[in-house]
Amino acid sequence: MKTGSASALSRRLFLTTSTTAATALTLAPAAVLGRAGQKAPSQKPALAGVGVGGVGFGQLAELEQEGFEIAALCDVDDVYAKKAFDKWPRARRYRDFREMLAAEGDRIDAVYCGTPDHTHALIALAALRRKKHVCCVKPLTRTLHEGRVLLAAAKQAGVATQMTAAPHTTEEPRRLHEWLDAGLLGAVREVHIWSNRPVWPQGMLRPAGEDPVPATLDWKLWLGPAPARPFKDKWPAGSYPLAQLKASLDWVAQYNGVYHPFNFRGWWDFGTGALGDMGCHHFNAVMKALQLGPPARIEATATKVTAETAPLAAIVTYDFPGRGSRPPVRVVWYDGGLQPPRPVELDEPLPEEGAIYIGDEGRLLYSWKGPRFLSAKLAARAKDVPKTLRRRPGTWGEFFQACTGGEPAGCAFDWAVPLTELVLLGNIAIRTGKRLDWDAAAEKFTNHEPANALLAEPYHNGWSLETV
């Protein structure tokens, strides 16, 4: 451990003197000086990345561009992490995030987590308990219990947090929000959301056999709190389940490991399926624009659900109660190539990802290109709706600002936890095949006790949220 090093001392002195200066120079804005315990933008906050191959590599590059210094890199797979090691050769390297946090001490200000879903809670919690700012990929957790633990820890730590879902604070979702608030659609009673995921194997059984673990991979660390299972490198010749997916997704075949890399998403022990992967992106704008709270009922229809993997395709229906003068809303999720019926007003195919808002006065299509009305009359009226909501810089810029004395990020954990809970509740409906009544205040299902066992699942291999 090097927490007593000169660099650690200078970092602590900087933070202390910055706080003192901020008290004295009351005319200077907090965003310039930095709040207590936070860096000013004039000095780069030091960021440690955990899970730096795949999506982690690209997101670390985004964070660096915003102003973070990439100070340390941690990954259980030396080969998968090589491009990150090559890009940031001065960053200190680790395999075990616990060793990284112990060794880095005050040399780092923030931690980024880009690992598979089943290790998010452990890594984020360990960082929060050391009062590090935390940015974590979606979904924030694999179980609802993990989310509640992280939310409490984040409040206690008083640090900046962010989940990397598509933001609700940028131009497109803000415009959607303004149009709905202006009443252009009238009362919104239904929303249909769809995704082209999964683009990885789902609906399959575990392959037999065991392969040698490469020396470059720490399989036990990769498993983390999941039940132990033998390492399996590649699918047997001719049996790769991706063949079930459409030919346009053949590029994914390069990721043909059974579990790692990338294909963890379809396994319940490690991932959260198509809904967990993309639901946080799509539900973010819906929750914000319609001011949705917890659902009262969730029901799912799916192709074959195995004990170990998510299905090839699913439809999940959420019923939300009314909110003040707003009526109840039904939100329906589709994945695996399933989509809602195309609206009669639309002359083109539905996009691969998107949402349709159905109100008393018309319909609106929301996609990665933004919102648009399916009626020329409503589209004309939309031009006159003023922009009343402040636009923010999005996922990476918001996290940087929050770490350097600015306001909390749009998807800070107090928002990310209930957002993640939506997709996790949907997965429980998929896994049980039951119509579930949800009591959010009591944090339990009231009509099917076996579903409550999936709200918090046991940790294995000596891992624990209490001791991390």
What would the two tokens of residue 210 be?
């065991």
Most distant pair of Cα atoms in the chain: their distance: 70
Tens digit of pLDDT for each residue in 216-254? 999 999 999 999 999 999 877 666 555 455 444 554 555
**Alpha carbon distance 98, 122 (integer Å):** 10
User: Tokens 């890009």 identify what position?
Assistant: 87
| pLDDT > 60? residue 51 | yes
Cβ burial, residue 5 (10 Å; 0-12/13-18/19+):
middle
The predicted model scores a pTM of 0.90
Residue 2: its pLDDT value, please? 36
- pLDDT tens digits along 70-121: 999 999 999 999 999 999 999 999 999 999 999 999 999 999 999 999 999 9
What does the block give as tokens for 416? Answer: 């990310």
Tell me, what's the pLDDT at 252?
A: 55
Structure tokens at 27: 């005319």
Q: From the CB of residue 213, how many other CB atoms can be counted at a distance below 10 Å?
A: 14
- Tell me the pLDDT tens digit for each residue of 290-335: 999 999 999 999 999 999 999 999 999 999 999 999 999 999 999 9
Residue 361 to residue 432: CA distance in whole angstroms: 37
Confidence of residue 29 (pLDDT cuts 50, 70, 90): very low
pLDDT category, 43, cuts 50, 70, 90? confident
**Across all residues in the chain, what is the average pLDDT?**
90
Task: Spell out the domain ranges in the chain.
Answer: 171-198+275-391+415-452
pLDDT higher than 80, residue 153: yes
8 A C-beta contact, residue 189 and residue 329: yes
**pLDDT at 40 (0 to 100):** 60
**Hey, which residues does 367 pair with through a beta bridge?**
370
Residue 154 near residue 134 (C-beta atoms within 8 A): yes
Contact 341, 350 (CB under 8 A): no
Please return the burial class of 17, using the count of CB atoms within 10 Å of its CB with bins 0-12, 13-18 and 19+. Answer: exposed
Nearest to 405 by CA among 11, 14, 45, 10: 45
Distance, in Å, from the CA atom of 69 to the CA atom of 295, rounded to the nearest integer, reads 40
Q: pLDDT at residue 257 above 90?
A: no
- State residue 237's pLDDT score: 66
Q: What is the pLDDT of residue 88?
A: 99
- Is the model more confident about 442 or about 247? 442
Contact, 383 vs 389, CB < 8 A?
no
- Identity (one letter) of the amino acid at 160? A
Mean pLDDT of all residues in 258-284: 96
**Neighbouring C-beta atoms of residue 388, cutoff 10 Å:** 10
Say yes or no: domain 171-198+275-391+415-452 is CATH 1.20.120.330.
no
User: What's the confidence (pLDDT) of residue 234?
Assistant: 82
